[in-house]
Homo-oligomer: A and B are copies of this chain.
């Protein structure tokens, strides 16, 4: 076991948990005053970042360590927790690739971050081409079903 301390927090207008419609959410990641603003030197030369965060609103008593239906939809197959991206998972971590809009002082402005206002951020890494898959991604059909309105704009 080891301890994690947030490096910053998400600020946006998404105040409650909601599965879909992340398409036009713009977020700011406010880096903690414990960390130097120099931690962002050179970040504007990247188009995309990977943000690792903590699902602080997920109920720890509901963490799934087995399998379940994605989105609790009984019409979808029963899927292991490590084969889906559900929030109530061991360690309650989220990870998203976001588009960097700008970084200034201790604030990083991004789009594509599917985390609600106040979410603790625990790491930020630049996306490098050499770390992305260089082969076709294969995934089961239920993914398209649960993702159909995920990035839809409201």
Q: How many residues of chain A have a CB within 8 Å of chain B? A: 68
Most buried by B among A84, A99, A131: A131
Q: Tell me the minimal C-beta distance from A68 to chain B in angstroms.
A: 9
A75 within 8 A of B: no
In contact, B140 and A34 (Cβ under 8 angstroms): no
In contact, A5 and B91 (Cβ under 8 angstroms): yes
A26 within 8 A of B: no
13 contacts between A and B (CB under 8 A): A1-B3, A5-B91, A39-B67, A42-B77, A42-B84, A47-B133, A47-B138, A48-B137, A52-B52, A82-B123, A83-B126, A93-B123, A99-B135
